[in-house]
Amino acid sequence: MMTGHQLVEMEILLTDEIRQVEAHLANSSDSTAAVQVDTSIGRLSRADAMLTQEMAKEARRRMEQRLSKLRLALARLDQGEFGLCVRCKKEIGFERLQMQAEALVCAGCAAE
């Protein structure tokens, strides 16, 4: 079972991670804007711009997913369920949670 100190540490870590992801999402909105059709640039440049845009959209989607997982982890912490594997109900290692605070399963279940 995690100590009170560890729970406070995880709450701080989760809150900081949420702030960082929110800031990153707020600053990345320009890179997902539609590619303007400009005949002065070549076909390859336009294709490159479209590829870059798609990569930015995918990165943004992943960040949004991570934000949802972090918020869920913070809610689980508030409910007293944080740090328990959703599969086997055993405790998730503190070191694992420090590295991946949004983890829902223990290392054993993740390896299956």
How is the chain split into domains, by residue range? Answer: 4-111
Q: How far apart are CA 81 and CA 27, in angstroms?
A: 32
Neighbours of 14 (CB within 10 A): 22
Tokens 């599969």, residue located? 87
Band of residue 1 on the pLDDT scale cut at 50, 70, 90: confident
Band of residue 66 on the pLDDT scale cut at 50, 70, 90: very high
Kindly report the CATH class assigned to 4-111: mainly alpha
Q: What is the pLDDT of residue 35?
A: 53
Which residue has better confidence, 56 or 29? 56
Mean pLDDT of 61-68: 96
pLDDT at 41 over 70: no
Band of residue 31 on the pLDDT scale cut at 50, 70, 90: low
Contact 91, 106 (CB under 8 A): yes
Mean pLDDT of 11-16: 97
Q: What is the pLDDT of residue 44?
A: 74
Mention every residue, 6+ apart, whose C-beta is less than 8 A from residue 38.
46
